[in-house]
């Protein structure tokens, strides 16, 4: 490169897996689709909940971007492989693969069965391998590609309540990105994870309701805000901007890293008196 990189993603084909939101509002995958499309990418918004993916596409269209919907279940390898093959067949390429699905089971670890563990691991980890392996041949042929994984602060810290299978598989997801990055660096395919802090998405009202003791949802959100050094949880947009940056040529020499986007949460030891 002889000067500053092009900022945009015009003409790039981006597949986002987990592109909806499990409750109304802006989930991280939805925000990522909107940010990638804003920067000019043609986005394939894939989700198990087709209606949620359609809503994402409608929002992209509303902002003047280009997106299409696809149905996928990351717990079904064949469905993931068929999705990636379909994107390549229809668009002739795949430039950006963002794996965003994350499942977990909070609560004491003795409540997590081996079947729960396998399901969480299949979604958070195995599906990354299946999707990446389906995309890599086309990326190699193109001479470029970007693979990004949404990881979590639970990969590097105890998140404040028991979330063992989630944290362990997210840690593995970050390592997946680090190790695969080295393997693919000679092919100009960059692989990174985003270590998202406490993020205020519609999901937390659904999945974390019981993880914050007797607090109601409003109190739970307030406790999460207070525990962050910046006094607020992150938003889905905070993660989406990092994803758009990593997908772009501006991040052309960034690979194998875990980009922490947590408002300083992992940089501090919060004392009880502070929160
Ligand atoms: N919200 C947070 O505080 C937070 C913090 C750190 C990391 N994350 C991670 O960010 C990602 C998105 O989180 P979110 O809060 O927006 O949650 P979300 O659950 O709303 O988004 C995940 C999307 O994946 C889809 N999905 C679920 N199971 C699927 C399957 N089997 N196949 C295909 N799609 C499936 C859901 O329908 C949903 O649209 C997850 O990986 C999560 O672990 C979230």
Residue 275 has pLDDT above 60, yes or no: no
Query: Could you tell me which residues come within 8 angstroms of residue 37 by beta carbon, excluding any fewer than 6 positions away?
Result: 43, 60, 63, 65, 66, 67
253 among known catalytic residues: no
- pLDDT higher than 90, residue 210: no
The residue among 274 and 206 whose pLDDT is bigger is 206
Q: 83 lies in a domain?
A: yes
Please indicate, yes or no, if residue 6 is contained in any of the structural domains.
Answer: no
In a domain, 226, yes or no: yes
Q: What is the pLDDT of residues 214-239, one digit of tens each?
A: 888 899 999 999 999 999 999 999 99
Ligand 1 atom closest to residue 198's alpha carbon, by position in its atom list: 3
CATH code of the domain covering residue 162? 3.40.50.720
- Residue 98 clears pLDDT 90, i.e. is over it: yes
pTM for this entry: 0.97
CA of 275: how far to CAs of 45, 52, 128, 160, 202, in Å?
A: 38, 35, 36, 13, 23
Position 3 scores a pLDDT of: 83
For residue 224, the ligand 1 atom closest to its alpha carbon is 3
Q: How far away, in angstroms, is 18 Cα from ligand 1 center?
A: 6
Range of the domain at 25: 13-262
Residue 149 placed within a domain: yes
72 Cβ contact partners less than 8 Å away, ≥ 6 residues apart: 17, 46, 47, 48, 79, 80, 83
Q: If you take atom 20 of ligand 1, which residue's CA is the nearest one?
A: 21
pLDDT band with cut points at 50, 70 and 90 for residue 213:
confident
Let me know if residue 95 belongs to a domain: yes
How many structural domains is the chain composed of? 1
Residue 242 lies in a domain: yes
pLDDT band at 273; cut points 50, 70, 90: low
7 falls within a domain: no
Is residue 232 within 8 A of residue 87, CB to CB? The reply is no
Range of weakest confidence among 82-91, 218-227, 235-244, 251-260? 218-227
Report percent pLDDT > 70 for the chain.
Answer: 98
The number of angstroms, rounded, from the C-alpha of 109 to the middle of its chain's C-alpha atoms is 24
260 by DSSP, 3-state: which? strand
The residue whose CA is least distant from atom 25 of ligand 1 is 18
Asked, for residue 268, whether it belongs to a domain, the answer is: no
Ligand 1 neighbourhood includes 101 CB (under 6 angstroms) = yes
Nearest to 189 by CA among 238, 143, 133: 143
């Amino acid at each position: 490169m002889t000067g500053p990189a092009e900022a945009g993603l015009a003409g790039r084909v981006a597949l986002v897996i987990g592109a909806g939101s499990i409750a109304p509002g802006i989930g991280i995958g939805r925000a990522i689709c909107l940010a990638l499309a804003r920067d000019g990418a043609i986005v394939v918004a894939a989700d198990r909940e087709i209606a949620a993916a359609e809503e994402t596409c409608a929002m992209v269209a509303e902002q003047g971007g280009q997106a299409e919907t696809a149905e996928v279940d990351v717990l079904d390898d064949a469905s993931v492989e068929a999705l990636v093959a379909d994107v390549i067949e229809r668009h002739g390429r795949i430039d950006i693969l963002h794996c965003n699905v994350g499942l977990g089971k909070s609560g004491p670890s003795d409540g997590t069965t081996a079947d729960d563990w396998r399901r969480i691991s299949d979604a958070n980890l195995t599906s990354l391998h299946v999707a990446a392996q389906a995309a890599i041949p086309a990326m190699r042929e193109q001479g470029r590609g970007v693979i990004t994984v949404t990881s979590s602060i639970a990969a590097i810290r105890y998140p404040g309540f028991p979330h063992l299978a989630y944290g362990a598989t997210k840690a593995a997801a970050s390592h997946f990105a680090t190790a695969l990055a080295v393997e693919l660096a000679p092919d100009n395919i960059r692989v990174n994870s985003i270590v998202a802090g406490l993020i205020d998405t519609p999901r937390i009202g659904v999945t974390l309701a019981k993880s914050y003791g007797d607090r109601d949802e409003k109190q739970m959100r307030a406790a999460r805000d207070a525990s962050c050094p910046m006094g607020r949880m992150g938003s889905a947009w905070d993660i989406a901007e990092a994803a758009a940056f990593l997908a772009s040529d501006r991040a052309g020499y960034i690979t194998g890293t875990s980009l922490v986007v947590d408002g300083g949460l992992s940089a501090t030891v919060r004392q009880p008196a502070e929160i």
